[in-house]
Amino acid sequence: MNPSDFHVTRTSAVTKIAVVCGAIALIILILAPYWAGRADMRLMGELFLYLALASLWNLMAGYAGLVSVGQQAYVGFGGYMLFALTIFGGVHPVGAIVIAGVLGALIAVPVALLIFRLRGAYFAIGTWVIAEVFRLSFAQVSALGGGSGSSLPVGIVRSLAESRSGREHLSYWLALASAVIVIASVFFFLRTRNGLALSAIRDNELAAGSLGIDIWRTKFVVYIVTAALTAMIGALIFLQKLRISPDAAFSVNDWTAFVIFIVVIGGIGTIEGPIIGTLLFFALRETLADQGTIYLMVLGAVAIVIMLKAPNGLWGLIRSRFDLELFPLSYRVKIDTSKEKD
C-alpha cells in the first residue's frame, strides 16, 4: 500500500451518530420546561450541576493529575460571592455568577502558589485544609449570617423573573447551560495543543517534561480555570437553593466526595466517564435515598466493586471492549478503500 492510501482522522461513524443523538437530546432538554414537571426540572437541574462539577474535577485530577479533595472551597466561595454581590453590591444574580467566576480565579492564584509546593497525598490534604480555612473564614462574616447563614432577599429573587414558574425555568436553563458549557470547554480544550500537552502529562509526566512541556504552567492554568468555573457553578447552586451557610457551602460530602464517586465509577480521564457516573449516581440516589445509611453503604460497595473489576471505570470498560469514543479526541489511522488498487 502507498502512504496516500492512509489518512489520519479523529472522527468515526460512532462519533457522527453521537453528535446527532446529542443534538437531539439537547433540544429535548432545552424544551423540558414545556413537558416536564417542577420536580423533574429540579432533579435534572441538580443533575446538570453535578455533571459540571464532575467534569471539572475530572479535568483537574484525570488529566492534570491534581487530585483535590477541597474543591468545595470554590463551590462555597462562589455561593458566598453571589450573596455578597447581590445583597451589598446590587448586582443582578446572573451577572453575579460571572463575577463570582472571575473572583474565584483571582483567589485561586495565591492558593495555587501555596499548595503547588505540595506533592501527592500532601497536595490532597492541603486542598482540604484550604477549604476548611474558607469555611471558618466565612463563618466569621456576620454580614452574611455568620455560622447560621443567610437567605436571599425576596427582591433579589424576583429580579430573576416575576413569576415562580419563570424563575424555575431560568434556573433550569442556567443549570443546563452550565453543564453544556463545561463539557464543551473541556472537549475543545483537550483538542488544542495545550490539551495534548495535558494528555501527555497524564500519561507520563517525566516524558512530557523531557519533550519541553512546561508541566507547572500547564497544571497552574488548569487549576485556575477549574477554580473559576467551579465558583460559577457554586454561585448557581446557591442561587437555586436561595440560602447559604458555611456548613452547606463547604460540605466535603456534597461537593467533593460525591463528585469523586461520580468520576471514579464513570471513568476518570475521559469526557464520557462523568456523564455515565452522574446518571448512575442519581439513579442510585433516587432509588435508595429513603433507605438512610444503607444508601451510603450501597454507594461505597458500588465504588469498591467497580474499582476492583473495572479500574478505569464503566466507560473505560466499554471503550476497551468495543473501541468506542463518543467525543473524538484520539487520532485514528484509516485505510482509504475508495481508491482502486493495482
pLDDT at 334: 59
Top mean-pLDDT range of 10-14, 208-212, 327-331: 208-212
Give the span between the Cα atoms of 252 and 259, in whole angstroms.
Answer: 10
Give 259-299 pLDDT, tens digit per residue: 999 999 999 988 999 999 999 999 998 888 777 778 888 88
Q: Which amino acid is at 56?
A: L
C-alpha closest to that of 157 among 149, 143, 170, 167: 167
Give the span between the Cα atoms of 102 and 86, in whole angstroms.
Answer: 15
Q: What are the two backbone dihedrals, phi and then psi, of residue 267, each rounded to the nearest 5 degrees?
A: 135, 100
- For the record, the C-alpha cell of 57 comes out as 474535577
Strand partners, 332: 9
Give the span between the Cα atoms of 292 and 49, in whole angstroms.
Answer: 23
> What is the CB-side half-sphere exposure of residue 225 using CA atoms within 13 A?
17
SS3 sequence of the chain? CCHHHEEEECCCHHHHHHHHHHHHHHHHHHCHHHCCCHHHHHHHHHHHHHHHHHHHHHHHHHHCCCCCCCCHHHHHHHHHHHHHHHHCCCCCHHHHHHHHHHHHHHHHHHHHHHHCCCCCHHHHHHHHHHHHHHHHHHCCCHHHCCCCCEECCHHHHHCCCCCHHHHHHHHHHHHHHHHHHHHHHHHHHHCCHHHHHHHHHHHCHHHHHHCCCCHHHHHHHHHHHHHHHHHHHHHHHHHHHCEECHHHHCCHHHHHHHHHHHHHHHCCCCCHHHHHHHHHHHHHHHHHHHHCHHHHHHHHHHHHHHHHHCCCHHHHHHHHHHCCCCCCCCCEEEECCCCCCC
Q: What is the mean pLDDT of the chain?
A: 88
Q: Residue 95: is its pLDDT beyond 60?
A: yes
- List, in order, residues 6 or more apart from 132 with CB less than 8 Å away: 250
Query: Average pLDDT of 173-189?
Result: 93
Q: Give residue 5's pLDDT band: very low, low, confident or very high (50, 70, 90).
A: low
If one compares 237 and 341, the residue with the highest pLDDT of the two is 237
Structural domain spans, the chain: 41-250, 251-325
pLDDT at 209: 78
Taking only Cα atoms into account, the Rg of the chain, rounded to an integer number of angstroms, comes to 21
Give the span between the Cα atoms of 79 and 3, in whole angstroms.
Answer: 56
pLDDT at 342: 47
